[in-house]
Structure 1
Amino acid sequence: MHNIAEEITGEWLRHIKKCEFVEYNVKGPHQTEIDVIGLNIINKEIYVCEVAAHIHGLQYVDPQKRRPDTENRFIHKFTKDQEYVHPHFDNFTKHYMLWSPIVKSSKEGAKYDALKSVLNAKEVLKKSGIDLELVINERYHAAIQDLRKEALKQTHDLSNSSVLRYLQIEEYLNKYLSIKK
């Protein structure tokens, strides 16, 4: 079972990146789970996506230390993802992506800052060969707009995707209402 944020990610991979296969909640060794994987077989590309849809802003907390642990969480997660994916898709171009709609920057001098944590994780991961693409904030919104445009192009029933079907209905309703006025 996947959630709506994972479906947005998967549908973007399917329709915008033309992935022929999209899989959700892929279980790997050592209790790892990748939220969304997309395969574009023709271009030999794999998209490895972690999705965190915290509507009040991204932040993970270490339960033992009782303090934010966002940076370490993503470093660990993407390192495990790389260990799982790399040997199986050696000849594929790998795209590691973090999808999160709201990643806030804290006020100057704040002890914890989610945006800085994500950017720090990105830098640490880069040193280990993972070029993490951030689909956050404005870029997340742009991805939804990409899907909205895609849904508007389609005239057939998109019931196999609740996200695309919703966007399709909304866009066609907007067209209808503007004509009706």
Structure 2
Amino acid sequence: MDVGESLVGSYFKYVLGCKIVVYNCHLEAGGEIDVIALAPDGSRVYLCEVATHLRGLLYGDSNATTCTRIAHKIKRAAAFAAANFPGREPVFMLWAPAVSRGLARDLAALKESSLDQGIAVEFILNRDYTACIRRLQEAARQNIKTTDEPAFRLLQILEHLR
């Protein structure tokens, strides 16, 4: 697990209240899902790609290649959710702190086409990513209990420096 994945998993645990969060789930068909979280009421399963690319999200050499790769990840996540979480609403999420305007537009179009695959898609990008991490920082400020989440523990330490 990398620190970006730990931040996202911590958000699910400490902001949304998810009790079950799993990291780096390897798929039989190849690849992996970075973070999987089950909603507190069990109705939704979140399947997350975490791309902590600080110079801007890009897979390959173009926005088109990036969108193709993300579309493939969405299809794999939908198949995984259908096989392993029947009866729960699957939500694919892409978490990325730095995404260009052009790629964000292309991803919005991809989101619309993914509805046909039976999976909700949410992109937590740029300002939305920052807002989520700010909420996590606030949770860290309010919580001093030891945790097994490295990123959350670091935020706790930083929030309680004297």
- Structure 1 and Structure 2 fold alike (TM over 0.5): yes
Q: Which moved more, 1:73-82 or 1:89-98?
A: 89-98
Question: Which amino acid letter does the alignment assign opposite residue 53 of structure 2?
Answer: H
Which residues of structure 1 form unaligned runs of 5+?
A: 106-112, 177-181
Per the alignment, residue 101 of structure 1 pairs with 97
Q: Which moved more, 1:32-41 or 1:49-58?
A: 32-41
Preserved contact between residue 94 and residue 124 of structure 2 (Cα < 8 Å): yes
Paired residues for 1:147-162 under 5 Å? 147-158=136-147, 160-162=148-150
Per the alignment, residue 18 of structure 1 pairs with 17
More helix by percentage: 2
Which residues of structure 2 form unaligned runs of 5+?
A: none
Considering only CA atoms, is the larger Rg found in Structure 1 or Structure 2? 1
Per the alignment, residue 171 of structure 1 pairs with 159
Deviation at 1:151, TM superposition (A): 0.7
Cα distance in 2 for residues equivalent to 1:166 and 1:85: 32
Preserved contact between residue 137 and residue 155 of structure 2 (Cα < 8 Å): yes
Deviation at 1:41, TM superposition (A): 5.3
1:32-90 deviation digits (Å, cap 9, x = unpaired): 311110113533321110111111111111xxxx5440111111111111011113211
Preserved contact between residue 70 and residue 118 of structure 1 (Cα < 8 Å): no
Deviation at 1:122, TM superposition (A): 1.1
Q: Which moved more, 1:40-49 or 1:4-13?
A: 40-49
TM-score (norm 2): 0.91
Preserved contact between residue 54 and residue 98 of structure 2 (Cα < 8 Å): yes
Per the alignment, residue 179 of structure 1 pairs with none
Deviation at 1:124, TM superposition (A): 1.7
Per the alignment, residue 85 of structure 1 pairs with 81
The number of aligned residues is 161
Paired residues for 1:30-179 under 5 Å? 30-40=29-39, 42-61=41-60, 67-68=62-63, 69-105=65-101, 113-158=102-147, 160-173=148-161, 176=162
Per the alignment, residue 8 of structure 2 pairs with 9
1:88-117 deviation digits (Å, cap 9, x = unpaired): 211112221110011111xxxxxxx32222
Runs of 4+ with deviation above 4 angstroms: none
The structure whose RCO (Cα within 8 Å, separation 6+) is larger is 2
1:103-137 deviation digits (Å, cap 9, x = unpaired): 111xxxxxxx3222222221221222222111110
**Identity level (%):** 30
TM-score (norm 1): 0.82
Cα distance in 2 for residues equivalent to 1:132 and 1:102: 18
